[in-house]
Structure 1
């Protein structure tokens, strides 16, 4: 009985000492989780709205997944007054969705296609006590921890705004309840061959200057 009790006490001492050492060094799992903010990589998309005379789609020049350049002709319309109108790509990127097909009637205000722009972003929810680390136009290193080859790219803080949906979020603390104000930080990231929308993007707050 005394032997078992001694073993239990020894294990407890080791665990307490080990935990204290990790906390002192700031490398425990909780500290790491608090300093690393994760979001999902998203692609900016642009819906193309037809804004010219009504007519008929006579040619669709791009398919889903095709690369497009800003100003490139996506489709042609034969208007009711006999003229031919071009629908142009508003941004460089990739065709994400095509709403029309050859022979369709089209009127002003109707959607034509959706272009996925060659720019990504990720949204991070940041606590009020950490928001001073971020400023619009600030350069930020963005990590992608689950790539086969862990990679990081340069990002830029595009906007910082209050997150109303978190305004009344409650957080339990040892001494009771306290309101937790949150802010939404959007970080723009240039697209690359290695990155895909839906990937986990991570920012380490320890890398940012106060």
Structure 2
């Protein structure tokens, strides 16, 4: 199940504010402060931390089965998407990625697969990364822009199924990024986040206009 995406961005406060306005809750803020990694989680607000010299490694926001993370970057860069998988599925996907000669980095918390499409795929088997109290809220569809063809076929091979229902791929001479995310939440306001991702909602199984 597609559940996650991550960006590096200089627009940290703006990005957090945007997703908070869409009903997401800030779960975690970790940054390097005076040489050490420190948490600045809520109830701390940006008024408490804005003037400190913090190099944020990750800010994590959640709503239902949607998990969004971002960290500081000098420019906006799309880094990875994430899938929730069973352990058996995880192992099969990793075996297939290795056969494709894609780099696979497995640790006890999560697995990253480096694709040739200038972004990574995260495999997550731990369910504590989502909030079950709103389990009807999930990513229904995502539109990715790549600069080369083949991603749809590679995803179908990796996951053993057609991913077109979850992921649509555009191949244009534009930055590799997420163009659009459709979330099954009637409270979502159709708009664009500070990093250029168009966030849309679905109503009764259809895209809201």
Q: TM-score range by the shorter chain?
A: under 0.3
Q: Quick check: which one's strand share is greater?
A: 1
Higher relative contact order (CA 8 A, sep 6+): 1
**TM-score with structure 2 length normalisation?**
0.22
